[in-house]
Amino acid sequence: MGGKKLLLFWFLLVLTSLVIADIVIDTSSGSDFAPSQGISYLFNISVENTGISENSNITEVNITIDSDFVFSAGSNDSSVTSTFTNTSTVLRWRKTGGMIGANTTGYFWFNATSDTSGSYSFSVKATNSSGSETTALNFDVTSTAPVASQANLVNNYNSSTTNLSFGAYCGDNVGPDVVQIWGNWTGTWHANKTNATSTNGSTWTVYIVLPEGGYKWAAWCNDTSGYSDYSANRTITVDTTDPTVSYNCIPITVRVGATVTCNCTGTDTGSGVADTDLTIHPYSGSSGTKDTVCNVTDYAGNIGSATALYVVERGSSSSSSSSGGADPYFSGGTFAVSSSQLAQKYSKTLEKKQQLKFTIENEDHYVGIVDLTNTTATINVSSDSVQIVFNIGDSNKFEVTEDSYYDLLVTLNNISNDEANISVISINEAVPEDLLNQGNQGNDQNNSNNDSNQDGDGDDGGEGGVFWVMVIIVVVLIVLFVLFLLWKKKRESEGFE
């Protein structure tokens, strides 16, 4: 009898094992989940029914998620026919009569997001008519650092203005906490501007006024999880000063058709010289005083300019001169005066044997210093050479085009350190008729200089007149002395003592 009871016990135990099925719960891939902070993640869970009897059919699967996660409504589905319901933390699939049969596997998936990194556990519970089995699925939510970047002012940026627009960008899977603009323009590397209300994925723009100089800057931001990021440093140069330009053409005086070679040098202590624009061999096809311009641009866009003058003379291009002019006496140098300068009055300090050169009605003319004293200057005006002694402050008019009109006014402004400062200006005034009748059209003898000369101040004729007066006086005295001797001798011969 005892043996029969033992046999019955083992039979019931085997029968029960067929009803309470083995349930295996795992992810569909057989590996741990790997969600990232702030990013929606697809959780796919498999439930395997290893039972062999019909009573082992699983009728319900419940998945309980952590309260830090947010279930994405509508993202749920399964591989078996079932009815789905959920709360904020419990997801339930159910079917009366069973939805996962013996020796089969069902799959259940959904999306959920956590904005907080850390270690988490989901609970999966499978139930059949005999009971239930619960399994914990453990995994970590990892954090992704934000990405900081500059939105403008490319690296090695050059600015010609001191008011600059700085843009900082921060992108994060959760959202930025603080965004900052760092720079070294205050003398040390530190955060110069801070934004604690930046919008995720948007550009924050701020204007900063910087003095001239070179600087470095970067963007920095962090997220609410404490992760942060720096952008790469960028270099900027603030340069508001135009380049300095040195420009000259050689030779300064050429014949028509000859080659003039110009050289232009630009310097810039800020952003550096980017471009030099000049005509190396300017036009010399017609006579006259010419000008040519050189423009130097720096990397910030500032432009410096300089003008060079040269003179083109009529005649063969086989000969030219870089100094002096029509008269080789003026070996000290010839300085070109443009037509626009002559029209507005041009002043220049000249040494002895230096001259100015300009064009009037397509003819070249010169004004040069022949001789200097402390108070006078002998000035030569040509092409038809005329020399006049000027006192300081004197002015003279000259007719150089043979049209009975004065064309040029020359003034001696000052004399200092063996140099004369003179002014020249083009005029158009009729020559007085009395001077025309005298045939004197070279200069205006009615000016103050000529009046003073006629009075004998500084004039060679005046000194000669004094000499002859002295000679006459001496002769008269000698005659009187001879007469006196003759008279005395006669008196003695007549007996007078």
Query: DSSP assignment of 244-270, as one string?
Result: EEEEEEESSEEETT---EEEEEEE-SS
In a domain, 263, yes or no: no
- Record the pTM: 0.48
Last residue of a domain, one of 189, 213, 238: 238
- And the tokens for 425? 């200006």
Residue 49's pLDDT is 87
Whether residue 447 is predicted with pLDDT greater than 70 in this model: the reply is no
Q: Is 146 helix (H, G, I), strand (E, B) or coil?
A: coil
The closest alpha carbon to 240, from 160, 157, 156, 158, belongs to 160
Whether residue 5 is predicted with pLDDT greater than 80 in this model: the reply is no
- pLDDT tens column, 324-343: 344 556 777 889 999 999 99
Residue 28's pLDDT is 44
Q: Name residue 141's beta-bridge partners.
A: 118
Residues 441 and 481 both lie in one domain: no
Residues 50 and 101 both lie in one domain: yes
Whether residue 460 is predicted with pLDDT greater than 80 in this model: the reply is no
Residues 436 and 491 both lie in one domain: no
pLDDT band, very low/low/confident/very high, at 317 (cuts 50, 70, 90)? very low
In a domain, 172, yes or no: yes
Cα torsion 75, 76, 77, 78 to 10°: value is 140
Q: How many CA atoms lie within 13 A of 177 on its CB side?
A: 9
- Report d(CA 326, CA 330) in Å as an integer: 9
Residues 408 and 476 both lie in one domain: no
In a domain, 270, yes or no: no
For residues 165 and 188, the answer to whether their CB atoms sit within 8 Å is no
- Report d(CA 66, CA 328) in Å as an integer: 105
- pLDDT tens column, 209-260: 999 999 999 999 998 878 899 999 999 999 999 999 999 888 888 888 888 9
Query: For the domain that residue 26 is a member of, what is the CATH number?
Result: 2.60.40.2260
Higher pLDDT, 249 or 384: 249
What does residue 49 show for φ and ψ, rounded to 5 degrees? Answer: -100, 110
Question: How many domains would you assign to the chain?
Answer: 4
- And the tokens for 356? 């100015």
Residues 391 and 490 both lie in one domain: no
- Weakest-pLDDT range from 248-257, 285-294, 319-328, 437-446: 319-328
In a domain, 246, yes or no: no
- pLDDT tens column, 58-101: 999 999 999 999 999 999 999 999 999 999 999 999 998 889 98
Residue 466's pLDDT is 63
In a domain, 375, yes or no: yes
Whether residue 372 is predicted with pLDDT greater than 60 in this model: the reply is yes
pLDDT band, very low/low/confident/very high, at 463 (cuts 50, 70, 90)? very low
Query: For the domain that residue 206 is a member of, what is the CATH number?
Result: 2.60.40.10
- And the tokens for 338? 């443009």
- Report d(CA 225, CA 176) in Å as an integer: 9
Residues 485 and 399 both lie in one domain: no
Q: Which amino acid type is present at position 68? A: D
Residues 103 and 196 both lie in one domain: no
- Report d(CA 216, CA 231) in Å as an integer: 12
Query: For the domain that residue 374 is a member of, what is the CATH number?
Result: 2.60.98
Residues 137 and 86 both lie in one domain: yes
What does residue 342 show for φ and ψ, rounded to 5 degrees? Answer: -65, -35
- pLDDT tens column, 181-197: 999 999 999 999 999 99
Q: What percent of the chain has pLDDT over 90?
A: 48
- And the tokens for 131? 């009971």
Q: What share of the chain is helix, strand, coil (3-state, %, to 5)?
A: 15, 50, 35
Last residue of a domain, one of 190, 207, 238: 238
| pLDDT average, residue stretch 347-361 | 91
Residues 334 and 431 both lie in one domain: yes
Residue 319's pLDDT is 36
- Weakest-pLDDT range from 116-120, 210-214, 348-352, 394-398: 116-120
Last residue of a domain, one of 110, 141, 172: 141
The closest alpha carbon to 423, from 431, 415, 413, belongs to 413
Residue 88's pLDDT is 95
- And the tokens for 473? 């006086």
Query: Which helix (H) or strand (E) segment is 411 a member of?
Result: strand 405-416
Residues 444 and 488 both lie in one domain: no
- Report d(CA 312, CA 286) in Å as an integer: 7
> End-to-end alpha-carbon separation of the chain, Å?
218
- Report d(CA 262, CA 251) in Å as an integer: 9
In a domain, 277, yes or no: no
Average pLDDT, the chain: 83
Residues 412 and 496 both lie in one domain: no
Bridge-based pairing state of the strands 157-159 and 273-277: unpaired
Read out DSSP for 186-246? TSS-EEEEEESSPPTT-EEEEEEE--SEEEEEEEEEEETTS-EEEPPPEEEEE--SPPEEE
In a domain, 397, yes or no: yes
Q: Which amino acid type is present at position 374? A: N
- Report d(CA 143, CA 229) in Å as an integer: 13
Higher pLDDT, 468 or 179: 179
Residue 102's pLDDT is 87
Is the link from the previous residue into 328 a cis peptide, with omega within 30 of 0? no
Higher pLDDT, 455 or 157: 157
Residue 173's pLDDT is 77
What does residue 485 show for φ and ψ, rounded to 5 degrees? Answer: -65, -40
- And the tokens for 263? 């050289």
Residues 490 and 411 both lie in one domain: no
Residue 203 belongs to domain spanning: 147-238
Q: For residue 54, give the DSSP letter.
A: G
In a domain, 289, yes or no: no
Residue 33's pLDDT is 87
